[in-house]
Amino acid sequence: MSNILLEELRESLNIDSEGVSLNLEIFIREYTEKLEREGIILGLSGGLDSAVVALLCKRALGTAKILALIMPDKDSKKEHLEDALQLVHELDIPFKLINITTYLQKLGIYQIFPLDKIPVWGRLKEMMVKEAYRFYRRKTGRIPFHDSLLGFKNKEYHHYLKSCNAYYRIKHRLRMLLLYYYAELENRLVVGAANKSEYKIGFFVKFGCDDASDIMPLINLYKTQVRELAGYLNIPKRIIIKSPSPDIIPGLGDEEILNISYEKMDLILLAMEKSLKVKDIAEALKIEIEEVKRIRSYSQESEHMRRIYRPETTN
């Protein structure tokens, strides 16, 4: 029974890539017209999701109506910057390269996490960041990302968690400001690149460039489905196969931060969406019940990130 359930879940994740692409192209065109914009603007990171969005926008509107902002800072991995630059040249998309390091320096952000004091040679900086992340897990038995979804009242190592959140979240919020600045100047629609996997577990920065946008074409697609769509769209293979990373703190990729692969997590999220029991999900995926509960907790504890709380009445 568990094998049948697993196959059904995997089958449910399959998409009609051609049909999905056509629908999303129509969606992008419709909202560009509906909101009376003359073009679109997007942030291009060198990662899979923004690459897929860029190509969908090109197919929907043509290159002349697209502007990509590439916004690295000094912590950004050179590989991602090179991939972003190569992609805009391959797609012939107009772009602006804006290094946000100076802005962050003026805000004193790098002083919160003085990574500059760590030598950059030999990937020592990345190794030390990884070790700090693993140290927290060993000492507390919890995932730092998980403990960052809510506040830090009475939490162990709360100073570390607060500093870490302040350090990386400002980067995405600054990128959001730049996107909207140029969008307003040039009457463009801001197109976001968040996918369903990230959105359901809170793996995004609230009011950051992966949250605040006018439209989100990929928001109904799990990460594994985005990867499938990328293959259909002929996104460069180097972008499809490289390890996903938020590229905001050196050394940490998505799956290390989350402590689970997207392939496994998407199956869990889909099973929960189908209201399957935790025990049945764990049995079908041959994983511990606690791992399913952890992913469920990600979703539950990040609910506040997907909504604005308002009083029920003003009386």
> How much is the average pLDDT of 300-309?
94
Q: In this prediction, what percent of the chain has a pLDDT beyond 90?
A: 77
Average pLDDT over residues 72-99: 96
Going by pLDDT thresholds of 50, 70 and 90, the confidence category of residue 158 is: confident
Give the mean model confidence (pLDDT) for residues 211-218: 97
Helices marked H in 107-247 — which ranges?
109-112, 124-140, 144-147, 158-186, 196-201, 223-232, 237-241
Greatest mean pLDDT among 74-78, 151-155, 189-193 lies in 189-193
Confidence of residue 161 (pLDDT cuts 50, 70, 90): confident
Mean predicted lDDT score pLDDT of the chain: 93
pLDDT for 273 equals 96
pLDDT of 192 over the 50 cut: yes
Check residue 112 and give its pLDDT.
86
* 40, 60, 61, 193 from 31: Cα distances, Å: 10, 11, 11, 16
Distances (CA, A) of 146 to 130, 207, 272: 16, 19, 18
Give me the pLDDT at residue 122, please.
45
Structural tokens at position 178: 């730049």
Q: Which positions ≥6 away from 35 have C-beta within 8 Å?
A: 189, 214
Can you give the residue ranges of every domain in the chain? 2-302
CATH for 2-302?
3.40.50.620
For the entire predicted model, the pTM comes to: 0.94
Q: Contact, 231 vs 240, CB < 8 A?
A: yes
As beta bridge partners, residue 40 has 66, 189
Chain CA centroid to CA 178, Å: 18
Backbone dihedral angles phi then psi of residue 213, each to the nearest 5 degrees: -160, 170
* pLDDT at residue number 115: 66
Average pLDDT (254-258) is 92
Q: What percent of the chain is modeled with pLDDT above 70?
A: 96
